[in-house]
A and B are shown apart, each in its own frame.
Chain A
Amino acid sequence: MRRFLCFFFTSFLCLSLEARPIVFAPLPFFNTNKVLEDFFPMVNYLEEGMDENIAFHYEKKYDDLIAAFKANKVDIAYFGPLPFLALQKSFPSALPIITFHESDGAKGYRCALVKFAGDTLSDIPTKKLKVALTQPLSTCGYTKTKVLINTYLHSNLDTMLYRYVGTHDEVGLSIVRGDFHIGGMKESIAKEYTSLGLEIIDTTPLIPGFSLVVNTQTLSTEQIAKIKAILLSTPKEVYEKWGKDISYGMSETDLKMFENLKSDMESFTIPHSGSF
C-alpha cells in the first residue's frame, strides 16, 4: 500500500510539473491593453467551459507570433487569413477551426481601396501616387491592395510609391490628412472614416475572416473538439459582449475560402518595406 501511494504521489508530482496552461495569443497590436480587454471575455468563457487555465501570450509583430507558434509556445492564436497562410506554409500543424463573422454577419471580410473624396487622382500620374499600406502580413496590406490597384487603376503597385503605416486606422487617417493619395484597408474600418470624407473606390471579394488557429502539436484532438464545440454553441448574448472584432458571431472555418488567397500569396513575394 505504501509503495502504491509513493508511486501515485511521484507520478502526480511529475505530471503537475509537466503540465502548463493552454496559451492563447491575440492579434499582434501596439495597444496591448485594448487587445487584452477585447479578448479577455472570450478566453474567460473558454476557460470556464474547458475547466482549464488559459494564459495570454502577447507579441507585437506577426513574425514574432508565427515564430512563437512554431516553437509550440502558443496553443491557440487569433490570426488574420494571410498570417495564417504564412504560418501554415512552414508549420502545417496550424489549423484554423473557428472563423469570426464581420459586423454584417458575413463569414469573411473585404479589403477596400480608399481615397479622400476631395482629392482628384486623375491629375496625378499613377507612378506618383502615394499608397498607404498596413503591414506586410496584413491581408489588406500589400497582397490585396496590389490586386485592387491592378483592377482599379490597371497599374502595378510595385511601380508606385507605397509605404507601410502600421494599422488600418492610420491608412485611413493618413489619406484624409493628405499624406497619401490612396491606400488599402479593411472595408469595415474604412466605412468608419467615410464621415471624414474617405471614399471606398473598390473592394475585394470576400476573404476568410479572422480565425482561431489551434496548434495540433500541443493540443489534443479532444481539446480541439471541445474548443470548437464550446465556441460554436456560445449564445449570442454572450459573444456580443466580447471585443468589437469578435462580437458578431462565429462559425466553423471553411478552409476552401483560403484557396484564392493562397494562390495570390504564391504568385508574388510580399516586400517587407515600402518603396519610398
Chain B
Amino acid sequence: MRKFLATAFCITLAYILFFSYVHSKMEEERNVLLHNENRILETSYKAVTQMFSISIENYFRYAIMQPSVLKILHEVNDTNNSQEQAILRGSLYRLLYPFYNDELKKLGIRQFHFHTPKGDSFLRFHSPTENGDNLMDIRPSIQKANIEKKFVTGFEGGRVYPGFRYVFPIVNEGEHLGSVEVSLAYENIEFELAKLLSWSDHVLLLKKSITTDLVFSAHKHHFMPSILSDAFVIENQKISNVTAHSIESELTKKINTILKERYDIETKLLEGKNFSIPLVENDEGYIANFHAIYDLSNTLAAYAVTYSRLNDLVAIQHKYITSLLFGFITFVLIGIVLYLLVEQSRKTLREKIQFETIVEKTINGVILLNTKGEITFINASATTILGYKLEDVLGKDAHTLIHVHPHNTTKEDCPILNSMRYQRTYIGEEIFRKKDGEHFIVHLNATPFVQDHHNIGSVVIFRDITQDKEAQKMIEHLAYYDSLTELPNRKLLLDRLTYTLANTKRTQEFCGILFIDLDNFKILNDTKGHEYGDILLKQVAKRLTRTLRLCDTVSRFGGDEFVVLVTKLGEEEKEAKERMAQIGYKLLLSIAEPFRLINFDYACTASIGGTVFKDDDKTINDILRDADMAMYEVKKERKNEIKIV
C-alpha cells in the first residue's frame, strides 16, 4: 500500500508539473493571441486617428486660415465691445457655417470651436449660444495651444462632448488671434474602426472625470452609465447611432454580462493599461479588447473597447484539454508501469536475495559457467568443497581445473559442456579435483541457461558423494555378507547359486552344494556362552575359506550352518560327486584341528551333506533341500561324516 501511495504521489506530482507546464503554455499561446488582437485594435485606432489628423490639418490650412476668417478674428482681438464681438461671432458663424455644415459634419466632426487668446470660448458651431466661458483650466489642449502656440492633438474631455481634439493656434502676421479646435466624436473613430475591424462591436468607455463631471449640466444626458464600471460612462445610445448599434448588439450584451459577473473588471479598468480578456462560454470564444486612451494631461480618459468572437480561443482550449487528457492517460499508464516495475524490481530483489541466500547457504556446490566453460560464479560451499579461494577459480576453465576425466575426455565429449551445447540438463556422477589434487565423486546437475534459443551459460550444482558411496558399499556389504564371519550370507549365496545354475546350462559342467553343520555347537553355546560360539564360528569360517578355491563360495547359512557352492566339477556326475566328497573330507579335516577358544582348545566336528547339479530339472530349492537332507542323514547316523547325493 505504501508503495502504491508513493507511486501515486509521484505521478500526481509529475502530473501537476505537467499540468502547470501545459497550462503555462496555453496561457502563453493565448496571451500571444490576445496580444495580437490588442495590437490590431491599437494599430487600427492609431491609423484612424492619424487619418483624421491629416484631413483636419488640411482643413485648417485651406479653410480656416483664409483672409476673411482672419480678418474677423483680428477685429475680435481689437475690440472689447461685447455687441461688436457678438456681431463678429455671428459673422464668423455665417462665414464658416457652410464649411462646418457641408464639410466637417459630413466628415463626422461634431465640434468646431474658436477660442480667444485668453482661452475663452468664442464660438461653438455645435452649440452656438454657449460661449464666453473660460476653458484654460479644464482644457489642457487649449491652454497649450494658446500659451505655447503649438498644434495640440489628443483625447480630452470638454464642456459639451469629450473627443479627439485637434487644436490649432491661430497666428497671423505675428499676432496671436486665439485658437481653433476641431473635435471628433468617438463615434467617428468608431465608424472608421468599424470599417477596419468589421467583425467587432465597438464601445468607448469614458471616465466620468472627463465627461459627466465636466460638461455643462444641459449635456449630461449625452452620457449613460456603463454596465462595466461606475467610474466610466458611455455615450448615450440615443444620441450615438454607432454606439447604439454596439450597445444593442447581442454580442456586446453577452460579453458585458460575462465580464461583470466573472471578472473584477472595475479594478482592471482603473489600472489604465491595454488589456484583453478572453472569454469562453458554451464552446464559443469571445474577446474583449481594451485600449487605454490618455488625455492631453496624460491621465486615463477612456478605453476604446472592441468585442468580437474569437473561436481560436476555443481551439486553443480544446488543444490543451486534449493534451492534458492524453497527458493524464499517459501519466496513469506510466504510473501503472512504474508501479509494476517497482513491484517487479522488488520481487526480483527478493528473489535475488532468496537465490543468493539459497546458493550461499546450501551445502551443495554451485558453479555458474559462461558459454566458454569459464567459471563466472562459485558459491561458498563449492569453494569449501574444492578447497579454492574465490579469486582462484573465477574466470578459470572448469573443464581443466576441477573436472577429472579418467578416460581423457575432450571438451567436445564433456557431458557438462555438452549439456550446455545441446541445451539439455545433465544429471550424473562425475569426478572432481580438489585444489590439493584429491579426487572425489560428485553428483551433479548441469542445467544450461537458455535465452532466445541461445546459450548464455550453465549452472552446475554438485554434491560430494564420496561418503555416500562408502555408506552404500557398507550397506551392500551388510546385505550380502554375514557380519560375524564376513562370509557371504544366505542372500548372496542364493544369488550366486542362481547365477551358477544358469551358467551350468551353458558350460555343461557340474556344480555342487555342501551343507555343513557343526556338531554339538549348541552344547558349547549353552555351556560356555555365545561368546565362545561366535569365536568358533569365525574360526571355522576362516578355515573353510582357506581350504576352498577362490572360485568357490563359502557362506554362512544361519546359526552353525555353512553352505559351500563349488563349481567346475566336470561334466560327469560321478566324477563330480567324487570331487565333492574329496572337498568335503578336506573340509572335515580342516575343522578337525582343535580351535583355540579364548582360554581353551576346543575339538570340533561337523556333519556335511552335499549334492551336485547341472542343467537339469532341479531348482534351487531342490538343490538346497537335497543337500540339507543329506546333511541331516549324516547328522542322524553318526556325525563327522560326509554324504553326497
Contact = CB atoms under 8 A, between A and B. Distances in A.
B128 A196 contact: yes
Interface in A177-203: 177-178, 192-198
B97 interface: yes
B132 A195 contact: yes
Interface string B76-90: 000000010011111
Interface string A166-185: 00000001001110000000
B87 A117 contact: yes
A34 B128 CA distance: 18
Nearest to B88: A197
Given A118-B90, A176-B94, A196 B129 contact: yes
B216 to A, nearest CB: 13
B131 interface: yes
A216 B323 CA distance: 79
A158 interface: no
Interface string A145-179: 00000000000000000000000000001001110
Contact of B86 (A34, A37, A173, A197): A197
Contacts of B88: 197
A26 B238 CA distance: 19
A103 to B, nearest CB: 14
Contact of A117 (B86, B97, B123): B86
Nearest to A32: B238
A193 B93 CA distance: 12
A269 interface: no
A246 to B, nearest CB: 15
Contacts of A197: 86-91
Interface string B89-133: 111011001000000000000000000000000010000110110
B128 A173 contact: yes
A176 B221 contact: no
Give the size range of A's interface with the partner. 10 to 19
Of B90, B97, B128, B131, most A-chain CB atoms within 10 Å: B90
B90 A196 contact: yes
B638 to A, nearest CB: 160
Contacts of A116: 87, 90, 94
Nearest to A195: B86
Contacts of B221: 33-34, 37
Interface in B47-98: 83, 86-91, 93-94, 97
Contacts of A198: 90
B218 to A, nearest CB: 8
A197 B94 CA distance: 11
A173 B131 CA distance: 15
B94 A117 contact: no
Interface residues of B, number: 17
Contact of A195 (B94, B97, B129, B238): B129
A197 B93 CA distance: 10
A259 to B, nearest CB: 34
Given A33-B221, A173-B128, A195 B89 contact: yes
A193 to B, nearest CB: 6
A177 B93 contact: yes
Contact of B128 (A117, A118, A178, A193): A193
A192 B97 CA distance: 19
Interface string B307-334: 0000000000000000000000000000
Of A116, A176, A198, most B-chain CB atoms within 10 Å: A176
B121 to A, nearest CB: 10
Contact of B131 (A34, A118, A177, A195): A195
A201 to B, nearest CB: 14
Contacts of A196: 86, 89-90, 93, 123, 128-129
Contact of A177 (B83, B89, B97, B132): B97
Contacts of B132: 195
Contact of B91 (A33, A37, A118, A192): A118
A33 B238 contact: yes
Contacts of B131: 195
Contacts of B94: 116, 176-178
B238 A192 contact: no
Contacts of A194: 86
A118 B72 CA distance: 13
B93 A192 contact: no
Contacts of A33: 221, 238
Contacts of A173: 128
Contacts of B83: 117
Given A33-B221, A33-B238, A37-B221, A192 B90 contact: no
Nearest to A33: B238
Interface in B158-205: none
Contacts of B128: 173, 176, 193, 196
Interface in B502-551: none
Contacts of B97: 177
A197 to B, nearest CB: 3
Contacts of A178: 94
B137 to A, nearest CB: 21
A141 B215 CA distance: 33
Nearest to B129: A192
Nearest to A116: B90
6 closest residue pairs by CB, A with B: A197-B90, A197-B87, A196-B90, A118-B87, A197-B86, A192-B129
5 contacts: A117-B90, A118-B87, A176-B128, A177-B94, A192-B129
Given A118-B90, A197-B89, A197-B90, 16 more contacts: A33-B221, A34-B221, A117-B83, A117-B86, A117-B90, A118-B91, A173-B128, A177-B94, A193-B128, A193-B129, A194-B86, A195-B129, A195-B131, A196-B93, A196-B128, A196-B129
